[in-house]
Amino acid sequence: MPVADYKIYCQMLDRARSGHFAYPAINVTSITTANAVLKGLAESKSDGIIQVSTGGGAFASGSSLKDMALGAISIAEHVHRAAERYPVYVALHTDHCQADKLDKLVIPLVEETERRRASGRPNLFNSHMFDGSALPLKKNLDIAVKLLERFQRNELILEIEAGVVGGEEDGVKGEAGAKLYTTPEDTLEVARQLNAVKGARYLLAATFGNVHGVYKPGHVKLKPSILKDCQDAVVKEYGETARFYLVFHGGSGSELQDIREAIDYSVVKMNIDTDTQYAFTRAIADHMLKNYNGVLKVDGEMGDKKTYDPRTYLSLAESAMADRVKQAVSDLRSVGTTMFKK
């Protein structure tokens, strides 16, 4: 049963935090990209997280529908079936759902899980992110607490964000001048409110200058020590059991030393999208440039069916993306850490 259930997912997160490693959380938009993640994780002997964003779900449903929940369900159903053939555990997660899209993605997916549970079937997804970072902290947490109460009843884990990740992903922008650094005061309030939901599990995306996308060296000023300051403040106020399970957003293009330092401060999940997108597309571009006369019917010729068959270049893209997943696993110290036993 390589799609983790709630108990196994919790154990995965516990082992990552205590063992000072983290899981790559890779955004996917199709069966092919989901397969690439499964391939990369299996070849690394690492468990991991497959996630779908609002835009990814809309794309997966087809350009005529653009139904983000339907697309996310379709990908998740495939992963549940395909993952049974791989010797690692994966968790399914949804990424960056802002308040105005909760009713289009997260709530329909929670309802789908509730229906499945009522009929004795396993949860479809393991966790969902509510991105309330654009809201005042009070409103952000008011929504988060209500979600967490519902999630707790359904063995789902909630991810929230305090602070703003810069850059842009799927139309979600961190505006210039936004609060790019989470403060200890922010995290004390997060702990006070969310820890009051007894028995619930949640992840916190605290921001420390991280951005979506890839920038030239020197343009991104990460300060992982901010995570330590936030953890220290919460542990001092509420005790060791309040220590957060943290998420590193905007992981693509980050320096290895910053990644490793963040992991040492209890980052257990790092989101990767830009770098895997590039790896996927780079392989396709390489194929097209090397086989120009084969993929096009130039000057009345018929081209080469084997080169313009989408299966040819998408297989190359899948392998290239899987290799980038393997690099991420290595960066996050997760190689060989799978909990799966045959």
Enumerate the active-site residues. 95
Helix (H) or strand (E) run with residue 90 in it: strand 90-98
Cβ contacts of 303 within 8 Å, gap of 6 or more: 293, 294, 295, 296, 297
Which amino acid, 215? Y
- Residue pair 134/93 in contact (Cβ under 8 Å)? The answer is no
Q: Report the candidate in 223, 221, 228 with the shortest Cα–Cα distance to residue 246.
A: 228
What is the rounded CA–CA span in Å between residue 132 and residue 106?
Answer: 13
Residue 196, classified by CB atoms within 10 Å of its CB into exposed (0-12), middle (13-18) or buried (19+), is: exposed
Least Cα distance to 232 among 184, 182, 162 occurs for 184
In the structure encoding, which two tokens stand for residue 6, read together?
């709630």
Helix axes of 184-194 and 225-238: crossing angle, nearest 10 degrees: 50
What are the distances in angstroms from CA 123 to CA 64, 156, 158, 270?
28, 8, 14, 23
Residue 15 burial by CB count (10 A; 0-12/13-18/19+): exposed, middle or buried? middle
